[in-house]
A and B are shown apart, each in its own frame.
Chain A
C-alpha cells in the first residue's frame, strides 16, 4: 500500500533539507542593499568637523567603504592589509568611523596607520544602520554612480580583495 511510504517520503524531504544546510554558515547575512543605490548621507569628516562629506561628493569613482572603530579588535588585524593596498594606490578606500569619538579614532589611526583617502565620521551610528552594518570590520564596494555592489562582513583578506573587491571596483568604475 503506497500510503505507508508517506512517512519515508517525508523523511527523505527532511533529510534533503538538513543536507542542504551542512557546511553553510547560518549566521551569514546577505545585504538587501546589493545593486541598490547606497543610502544618501551627509556627514562631517573625521579630521575636520567643518568639512562635509556626502554621497554626492563621493560620486564619480568606485571605492571601498570600510567600517571601523577604535573599539574594534578585529579591525587591527585587517588594517595592515588595507594599509598595503593604500600604499599601492590601486583603489580608493573611504573609511566610515562608526560609533566612536574623534579623539579615540584619530589616536587609533595614528597608531595603526591611515589608509583612507577620506573618513566619514558617524558618531551616533545612524549612517551605519542605514548601510545595514552589524559590527566592524565590514566593507562595501560602492560603484561610481553610487550603488552598493558588494558587502563583506569581517576582516578583508588579500585573497578576498583580489578575487572579489578589485574586479567589482573595476566593473563599477563608470
Chain B
C-alpha cells in the first residue's frame, strides 16, 4: 500500500511543480501579485510530497519489502541496516528520486531565504526551477519508477552491489547531487534575468553564495569518488578520465569559471553576459552528466543504466531546457554586453584569461569524452580517447592558469602595473624556486616536468600567503580579511596543495608485481618489504590466506601489514589488500595467486608518495567555497553612495542598441 501512496505523492508533487512552473512566470508577466505569490507555497508543497515519497522508499529498504522491485534488486536479507539507507541511491531509479528531492530542497531554501529580492524576479526564478522539476518528475514517473511492484513478492533480494557497501560510496552521490543541483539556482537566476531583460546587481550578489556552496559540494563529491576508487578498486589510480568522471568534472570547471565571473559582475557590474552564459553552461553540463550516466551512449565502469529510451527522454529535456535558455540568451544578451574599459593588465583581464583557460579545459574534456561518438558518426571508425590524451592536454592547458593564480588577488581593478604586483610576489617566487631546488637535489630521479610542477604548487602557496600578509599589513583594521578573502585564499592554497600532490605522486609512484615467498625481501622506494609468512585464517563466511609483511626503513620497523586472499563460502574470491596510509605517502600490498609449489605468491606492491595531498587540496577548496559563501556582505542589500547617480543595473531600455 505504501508504495502506491508514494506514487500518488509523486504525482501530486508533479502537479505542484506544474503550478510552480507556470503560474508565477505568467503572474510576473501580467504583474499579478496573487499569481506570483503561488510560487513559494507550490515549492514547499512539492518538497512535502517528495519527502514523503523518499521516506516511503527508505522505509521499504529498512523493513526489507521485497515486493518493491527496486528494493529487491538492490538489497537482501543479509544487508546491514546502515547500508539500507544508502542502498536507496544505489541504482538508477532511487538515485533519480534523490536528485529530485535535492532539487526540491534547494528550491525551498531559495524560496525561504530570498525574501528581500523583488517579487517578480523570484517568481520567475522559482518558475524556472519548477520547469526543471517537471522534467525530472516526468522522467521518474514515466521511465524510472522506483515503486514498481514485483509480483509475486520475492522472499529475498539480489543484494546491493558489494562495491557500494562502503562509506565512501554512501556519501559520494549525495554530495555530487548537492553540487549538480545547486547550479540550478544560478541557472534559474540567469534565465529569470534574461526574461526580465536586466541584470540587477542585487541578485548577482545573492547568487554568489548559492553558487559557491554548490561548487563546494561538487568539489567534495568528486574528491570522495576519487578517494573511494583509490582505496576500493585497488589499482592505485585516483582518476581515470572515465566518461562518467568527466561528466562530473565538466560542471566543476565551468562552475569555477562562473564563481570568478560572478565576482566581477557583482563588484564591477561588468561581464554580465558572461556570467549569464556560464550559469546556463554549468547547469546544462550537470544535465549532460545525467544523460551520459544513464543513456548507455558511452562505455564506462560507472554507468548506471544503459537504456536508449531514457537517453532520448533526457536528451529531449536537455534540448528544451538548455536550448531554451541559450535561445533566450541569444536574443536578450547582446543588449547587456558592455565592453569593459580595462587595461591589458588588470584584475578583470586576468579573470577573463582565467575563465578562458577553464572553459578551454572544459571544452577539451567534453571533446575528448564525446570524440568516439563524433568519429563513429562521421565514419572515421571506432577510436578510444583515454588518460594519455586527457592527462597531457589538461596539464598543458592548466599550467598557465596555475602560474597566474597569485597575480589575481594582488592586481587592481581597471588597470595596474605588472611591476608593482611583481614587487609583492618576488619573495614568493624565490621561495618556490628554493623548494624546487631542494626537491631536485634530494630526488635525482624527478623529471624536469615534475620539478616545474613542484615549483608551480609552491608558487601558488607562497603567492597566496603573500596576498594574505600584504592584506593584513596594509589594509585598515577592521577591514583586513573578509570571509570572502579567506575563502578565496584557502581555495587557492588548496589548488597549490593539490598540484604538489598530483605532481609528486604521478612522477615518483612505484608499482611492482613480484613473486615472493616467505623470507623474501623486496626493495621499494627505499623501504624493505619482507614477507614473513603466509598463514591460514578462517572468517565467519570465508577462509583466507593471510600474508604477514613487514615494512622496514633501513632496519627500523615501519609497520606490519596483513593482506588476505579470501575464498568465500559462496565461491567468490576476493583480495583484501592492506593499506599503510600516511600524510606523506601510502604503501599498499595485495596478494594475487599462489605461484608454484614452494609457497610463493604473486604480490603487488604500491608506493604512492603524497597521494593524500590530492584530496587534502580538494578538501581545502571545498572549505574555501563554504567560507566565502558565508561572507556577510553578500547577504546585504546593494547600496549606492549617491542616490542621484545612475542606477547600477543595466536596463534593456537604457542602453543603445548594439550591432
Contact = CB atoms under 8 A, between A and B. Distances in A.
B297 A5 contact: no
A3 B334 CA distance: 9
A171 interface: no
A1 B190 CA distance: 19
Contact of A26 (B296, B334, B366): B296
Contacts of A21: 295, 297-298, 373, 376-377
Contact of A1 (B299, B376, B659): B659
B327 interface: yes
B298 A26 contact: yes
Contact of B329 (A7, A14, A17): A7
B315 A15 contact: yes
Contacts of B323: 8, 11-12, 15
A30 B299 CA distance: 15
A7 B382 contact: no
A14 B366 contact: yes
A4 B327 CA distance: 9
Nearest to A22: B311
A63 to B, nearest CB: 27
Nearest to B298: A26
Nearest to A5: B330
A174 interface: no
Given A7-B277, A8-B326, A15-B319, A24 B297 contact: yes
Contacts of A110: none
Interface in A104-156: none
A20 interface: yes
Nearest to B322: A11
A94 to B, nearest CB: 27
Interface in B353-386: 366, 370, 372-374, 376-377, 381-382
B373 A4 contact: no
A17 B296 CA distance: 14
A20 B334 contact: no
B327 A30 contact: no
Q: Is the interface of A mostly helix, strand, loop or mixed?
A: helix
A17 B374 contact: yes
A60 B282 CA distance: 62
Given A19-B315, A22-B311, A8 B373 contact: no
Interface in B589-644: none
B373 A30 contact: no
A57 interface: no
Nearest to A26: B299
B340 interface: no
Contacts of A3: 334
B333 interface: yes
B55 interface: no
Given A17-B374, A18-B373, A4 B315 contact: no
Contacts of A27: 299
B291 interface: yes
B377 A18 contact: no
Contact of B377 (A5, A17, A28): A17
Contacts of B382: 28-30
Nearest to B280: A7
Contacts of A22: 295-297, 308, 311-312, 315
Given A18-B315, A18-B373, A1 B298 contact: no
A23 interface: yes
Nearest to A12: B323
B6 interface: no
B506 to A, nearest CB: 28
A18 B334 contact: no
B570 interface: no
Interface in A50-68: none
Nearest to A18: B315
Residue among B277, B288, B326, B333 having the largest count of chain A Cβ atoms under 10 Å: B326
A7 B315 contact: no
A11 B315 contact: no
Interface in B305-340: 308, 311-312, 315, 318-319, 322-323, 326-327, 329-331, 333-334, 337
B599 to A, nearest CB: 25
A26 B372 contact: yes
A27 B277 CA distance: 35
A7 B373 contact: no
Contacts of B381: 30
Nearest to A25: B296
Given A7-B277, A7-B329, A17 B308 contact: no
A20 B318 contact: no
B115 interface: no
B90 to A, nearest CB: 23
Contacts of B280: 7
B658 interface: yes
Contacts of A8: 323, 326-327, 329-330
B370 A17 contact: yes
16 contacts: A3-B334, A4-B329, A4-B330, A4-B334, A7-B329, A12-B323, A14-B370, A15-B318, A17-B374, A18-B370, A18-B373, A21-B373, A22-B297, A24-B297, A24-B376, A26-B296
Q: Which 5 A-B pairs have the closest CB atoms?
A: A21-B297, A1-B334, A8-B326, A20-B377, A21-B373
Interface of A: 1, 3-5, 7-8, 11-12, 14-15, 17-24, 26-30
